[in-house]
Amino acid sequence: MTTSLKVLKSATLLLSMQIVQRGLGIISTLILARLLLPEHFGVVALVIIALQFFELLVEIGNQQYIIQKTEVTEADLNTAWSMDIAIKSAMFILILFVAPLLADFFETPELTTALAVAAITLPLRALKSPGMMLLAREINYQPIFKLTLWQKGLSFIVVVLWALISPSHWAIISGTVVSGLIFTVGSYGVHNFRPRWTLIHFRQQWQFSQWLLLRGIVGFTRSQIDNLMVSRLFGTAQLGGYNLVREVSLLPALSAIIPMSEPLLAAISESKADRGALAYRIRLSLALMITVLTPVTAFIMLYPELIIRVLLGPDWAEFAPLLEPFGLFFFTFCLFALVSDAIIAQGRVKLLFWFDVVSTVTIIVILWLTATGGLEIMAWIRGWLSVATTIALLLILEQQTKFSLIKLLFLCIPTIAGTLLAVLAIQSLDLSDSHFLLQFLLLGTLHVATAALCTGTIGFLLLRKTEEWGQLRYLVKEVRGK
């Protein structure tokens, strides 16, 4: 099976997995938004922000290290597993001591116990089988798909039952712990690799991981600085609304687009020795992602009030205007992740780290000077800053790989034109007398269908003689042949 076909099949499998996973996530969000208060979501947001920061302090990029290696030995896998357990267990102990200090800083007493319990997931997830990294390296996601179904299904049941019985932030935290436990235990059932404790290759892995670790810390600061500023400037309740709407904007990214792009890291890494093949695969990957992102982004920015009413309910209407600028954040969040992975696949982690340092300092300064006037101002400035940093990183990738930004822009003409035509067509419809749920379903379906049809037609007329279009035709024939 060719690499391209393996990537396509893995991406399709990941999409199916994420449809189920995020489908349950959306359902639980619909339920929780009607059972919990903004204050509850504010506590959860603080827990997640703090936990993500501490996790980044110990995230040494084991999977990226294993995937990018030309050859992988048992000692490599065992060292990665042992390092992960040792470092994350130490961090768990540290969190127990600093949790009360963070609770005092954010003036949220509930944070002490909530963060301590949620932190259990750090050593818990580190215990998972290193065989999961082998599956990712081999672009084989079928076993992971089955395990994820069990993981998300059981954690969903726990979250909903807890929220119904005792509505509080503990419903979400309990689901997080159960999810980590099921995935770790199940990982030993889907792969027969059994790890042994060793740190024999610690130095080699650390040389790769140290820059990735530093980059993670800086990247976290860049991604969460607006949440931290909202918490300090406007309070926990406002943070709950701001963060929840931002999470809604990222639902398509986290549920489908980012996971579907995961196999591309292995494919890009595989072709890094051939500069021509590397440039081609990067250009095709970026074009495919932009083709998917453009119509979704347009819909998010056109109908923020409708989306929030359907997903969160009328009680969250005051935060709906935030979804429009967060549409920009969604688009660049996905694109930035793919561009970063392409740079990591070439082993240029140090370059990426220094880019993140400069961009993060710039974002912090601009937000602090200009975005303290309200939540909506904060969201718009944050959205445009994410656009600027993504363009800058894209230019760096073009300089490093020569994938040709001009060719990429040409490949994106069909999705831009197709989305514009879809917007014009849908905007002409008057569904104001219909029920809001029916409006959402009709507008969403017509928008996506019209954009897809127009993009496909324009793509056929404009791109049918390009190498990229030929590759897509080949993949379609291969899939049909199977």
**Contact criterion met (CB below 8 Å) for 144 and 17:** yes
Structure tokens that stand for 446 in this block:
């017509």
> Higher-confidence residue: 368 or 14?
368
Q: How confident is residue 24, by pLDDT bands cut at 50, 70 and 90? A: low
Q: Is residue 201 part of a domain?
A: yes
Q: How confident is residue 477, by pLDDT bands cut at 50, 70 and 90? A: low
**Contact criterion met (CB below 8 Å) for 251 and 18:** no
**Residue 170, SS3?**
helix
Q: Is residue 387 part of a domain?
A: yes
Q: Is residue 449 part of a domain?
A: no
Distance CA(319)–CA(243), nearest Å, equals: 10
For the purposes of burial, counting CB atoms within 10 Å of the CB of 480, is it exposed (0-12), middle (13-18) or buried (19 or more)? exposed
Widest pairwise Cα distance in the chain? 68
The angle at the Cα of 214, spanning 118 to 286, to the nearest 5 degrees, equals 95
**Contact criterion met (CB below 8 Å) for 80 and 12:** no
Q: Is residue 388 part of a domain?
A: yes
Write down the number of H helices and E strands in the chain. Answer: 22, 0
| pLDDT at residue 256 tops 60 | no
> What are the CA-CA distances from residue 65 to residues 16, 116, 210, 286 (Å)?
27, 30, 11, 23
Distance CA(21)–CA(152), nearest Å, equals: 6
Give, rounded to a whole angstrom, the gap between the first and last alpha carbons of the chain: 11
* Residue-wise pLDDT tens digits, 32-82: 777 777 777 778 778 877 877 777 677 766 766 776 666 778 888 888 888
Compute the CA torsion angle 353, 355, 359, 360 (nearest 10 deg).
10
| pLDDT at residue 5 tops 70 | no
H helix intervals, 58-169: 62-68, 74-105, 111-118, 121-126, 131-137, 142-165
10 Å Cβ neighbour count for 274?
Answer: 11
**Contact criterion met (CB below 8 Å) for 349 and 215:** yes
> What are the CA-CA distances from residue 367 to residues 203, 246, 370 (Å)?
39, 17, 5
Name the most confidently modeled range: 108-122, 213-227, 346-360: 108-122
Distance CA(72)–CA(70), nearest Å, equals: 7
Calculate mean pLDDT across residues 78-102: 89
Distance CA(39)–CA(103), nearest Å, equals: 14
Q: Is residue 169 part of a domain?
A: yes
**Residue 41, SS3?**
helix
Calculate mean pLDDT across residues 343-363: 83
Percent of the chain with pLDDT over 90: 19
10 Å Cβ neighbour count for 409?
Answer: 12
Q: Is residue 439 part of a domain?
A: no
Check residue 392 and give its pLDDT. 94
10 Å Cβ neighbour count for 473?
Answer: 12
| pLDDT at residue 104 tops 90 | no
Q: Which of 7-16, 71-80, 234-243, 298-307 is the least confident region?
A: 7-16
**Number of structural domains in the chain:** 1
Distance CA(107)–CA(231), nearest Å, equals: 10
* Residue-wise pLDDT tens digits, 338-349: 888 788 777 777
For the chain, the average pLDDT equals 81
Q: Which of 20-24, 209-213, 322-326 is the least confident region?
A: 20-24
**Residue 56, SS3?**
helix
Q: Is residue 300 part of a domain?
A: yes
Main-chain phi, psi angles of 129, to 5 degrees: -65, 135
Cβ neighbours for 455, distance < 8 A, ≥ 6 positions apart: 291, 295, 414, 415, 417, 418, 419
Cβ neighbours for 442, distance < 8 A, ≥ 6 positions apart: 429, 431, 434
Check residue 325 and give its pLDDT. 92
Check residue 226 and give its pLDDT. 85
Check residue 415 and give its pLDDT. 94
Q: Is residue 467 part of a domain?
A: no
> What are the CA-CA distances from residue 360 to residues 206, 357, 407 (Å)?
24, 5, 29
Domain of 363?
3-411
